[in-house]
Structure formats: C-alpha cells, structure tokens
Amino acid sequence: MSKLWSPIVHTLTPYVPGEQPKIQNLIKLNTNENPYGPSPKVIAALQAEAADSLRLYPDPDSSRMKAAIAEYHGLQVNQVFVGNGSDEVLAHVFQALLKHDSPLLFPDITYSFYPVYCGLYGIQYETVPLNDQFEIDIDDYSRPNGGIIFPNPNAPTGIPLPLAEIERLLQANKDSVVVVDEAYVDFGTESAVALIKSYPNLLVTHTYSKSRSLAGLRVGYAVGDANLIEALIRVKDSFNSYPIDRFAEAGAVAALQDEAYFQQTRQQVIASREQLVTQMQSLGFDILPSGANFIFARHSQQPGEEIAAKLREHAVLVRHFKKPARIADFLRITVGNNMQNDALIQALKSYLSI
C-alpha cells in the first residue's frame, strides 16, 4: 500500500496463475500446458528469426500471422485480431466491447481472470450459476446484459457446450457481444468460429498456449465481425503497438503450417485423457465430462485439498481451487504424457493405499 499509487490500484485483486515451482523431477499437471513440445518446424522458424533483423521493430499489424489465421479459419484478414497471449486479447475485449450500462454476464464457476478484468476496467458484472451438473444453461442468460462471456469448454470444469446451444444463445441475444473463449477447443469441443459469418456480435478467442504447445511464446487471437475487430485494434493501438514480437509471429505462422503435428499431438492428448479418466474412475474418482486437455475430478471419500497436498509430496502438482465451496473437493488435473499420467496414478494409489 502506498499513497504514491493511483487510487484504483488499492482496489485490485490480481489473478493468481498456477504455480511454476523449481522442484526437481516435478510432474507438472497444474497449468494445462501441453506435455509435448512445439512442432520442430516452429523451433526451426524461431532459430531462423534469431538474426540481425531483431534490431528492427516487428510488423505492428502482424500481417503474416493474421493472414495465416484468416486462411486457417476461412475468414478475411479484417476479421482477425492478435495479441500477446489470449489473456491480453481478452483484456482488450473487456475494455473495448464489454463495458456497458447493463452488467456483463459469465458463469459463477469459470476462468477466474474474468472478474479481475472487470475490476481493472470498472465493468459491472453478474455471475450466472452453473446448473446442478456443473453445466452452462443458456436459458439462464436471457436477461438484460452488456455482454456475455464464457469459455467453451468451460474452465475449470472442462464441460463442452454444444454448438447448437451457442447458436440458440446468439439468436436470443443480438444486442450485446457474446464472447466464446475457446482456449481448449481443439481437445474435442465444437468451435463456434463457423457461426461468425451469421452473427456480427459473436467474438471467438483462441490461444497457441494449449493445443499448439506454445505457452512460452505468448500468442493468442480473436476472430469475429470486422466491426468488433476494429474496436479491439483501437484499444490495442492505444496500449502497445507491437504486442507480437518477431519470434512470436514466426513461431505462430510455422505452427499453423504444421497441421500433421497439430493433429497428432492433440489426438494423443485426447486418447490419454480417456485412458486417465478410466484409471481414475477405478480409483473412486467422479470426473466431469471433458472436452479439454484437463479433467475436473473429485474423490468419493477424500477431500480435494488433502489429495492435492499429498500429490505435492510425490512431486505431482495439480490445481485445487478453494472457492466457490461447490468445487472445493475437485481437482483440476492437466492431461500429461504417459510417464506423467502414470506417475499421477501411482501417487494416487499410494495415497489411497490401493
């Protein structure tokens, strides 16, 4: 606390990301990173970028990257916005499109950065409870609002919302922006990008941090009607002209060009998830249906917080959220590679004495 701070700083409750501890031989299943490295073509592109040209600023429009994303999704370049991770893209979305007289709506159990952006930008919001199965129920969103945002699949539940439900929401909600945060969509959830042409108030955000294995590069993007993208560009150009550096652009373009690697690694994660679900169910866990690269699981007898602490003693890190009370016994566990998943199962067996 300091009187030197701007007043708003005293009111902020910042987001707390999952731990990145320096423990040896750590099995890190707490931040939904991809267990496989990026495509070798990405590494080659990054190496080629380490050159004299680094003394020059990057392209402020990231045109190569936008063109690659537009082509990938069958959209126009003016329907694409890129940023330093989807967190930065989302920050601009909150400021550019979601601050209105009526409250922004999002689920009560969801990505915990959303209320943080509301605090930063002074956006009023209401949370909408998930139903008893921890699902988003579209009918609960038919009320006056200044915007709607949710991840699909939702985080941390992992539960996917069918595309038909999203379309039903868009039909009923035409006067405010609907943001679908598709950070985990490539692990088995239907994308809403196909609806962009029909709904000018739909914005979809994606990240390279999960299915493209590039969390360290910080690349994310939004796609939607050119009118929405223009608002985002206005905010971005009032904030930072060069959010995508030369490495990020080169790596992002190369990642999109290696479709075979993308398909192979994402299918591997999906297959490992199904295997992990079966193994954990046999250890007494109840697991919500997941369309993501993580599962949300609770044990029939043991408290979630205690399991997380015991796993940590075995150098296996998973994510436990204390709040809200409804999810206090759940653990969010990233799907790892075979070695990591085996270590998790062995640690659980030893704790549960099975």
Ligand X SMILES: Cc1ncc(COP(=O)(O)O)c(C=O)c1O
Where does this chain bind ligand X (CB under 6 A)?
A: 32, 85-87, 111, 151, 155, 181, 183, 207, 209, 215, 220
Nearer to ligand X, 273 or 299 (CB): 273
Is residue 184 a contact partner of residue 334, using CB atoms and an 8 Å limit? Answer: no
Q: How far apart are CA 205 and CA 39, in angstroms?
A: 22
- Tell me the C-alpha distance between 176 and 329, whole Å: 35
Q: 320: helix, coil or strand?
A: strand
Q: Enumerate residues 6+ apart whose C-beta is below 8 A from 315.
A: 23, 24, 25, 26, 27
- By C-beta, is 284 or 289 nearer to ligand X? 289
- Judged by CB, which is closer to ligand X: 183, or 204? 183
In the three-class reduction of DSSP (H, G, I as helix; E, B as strand; rest coil), residue 300 is classed as coil
User: Least distance in Å: CB of 244 to ligand X?
Assistant: 12
Q: How far is the CB of 2 from ligand X (least distance, A)?
A: 29
The b-or-e profile of 216-233 (16+ CB within 10 A means b, else e) is ebbbbbbbbbeebbebbe
CA separation, residue 161 to residues 21, 138, 142, 188, 319 (Å): 33, 9, 16, 11, 23
Q: How far is the CB of 229 from ligand X (least distance, A)?
A: 18
Least distance between ligand X and beta carbon 129 (Å) = 18
In the complex, minimum distance from the CB of residue 342 to ligand X, in angstroms, rounded to a whole number: 24
> What phi and psi, each to the nearest 5 degrees, are found at residue 334?
-70, 140
* Shortest distance, position 169 Cβ to ligand X, whole Å: 18
Nearest approach, Cβ of residue 83 and ligand X (Å):
8
Closest approach of ligand X to the CB of residue 158, in Å: 10
Closer to ligand X by Cβ: residue 27 or 217: 217
DSSP string, 222-272: EEE-HHHHHHHHHHHTTT-S--S-HHHHHHHHHHHH-HHHHHHHHHHHHHH
DSSP per-residue letters across 37-50: PPPHHHHHHHHHHS
Q: Which pair of structure tokens corresponds to residue 214? A: 């590039």
- When the beta carbons of 81 and 111 are compared against ligand X, the nearer one is 111
Which residue's CB is nearer to ligand X, number 202 or number 345? 202
Q: Of 58 and 153, which has the nearer Cβ to ligand X?
A: 153
Q: How far is CA 139 from CA 129, 161, 229, in A?
A: 12, 13, 28
Structure tokens that stand for 341 in this block:
């998943």
Closer residue to ligand X in complex, CB, 89/348: 89
Contact 68, 252 (CB under 8 A): yes
Element (H, E) at 163: helix 163-172
CB nearer ligand X, residue 17 or residue 162: 17
Nearest-approach distance from CB 250 to ligand X, in angstroms: 18
Give the other-Cβ count within 10 Å of 323's Cβ: 9
Integer Cα distance of 212 and 33 in angstroms: 10
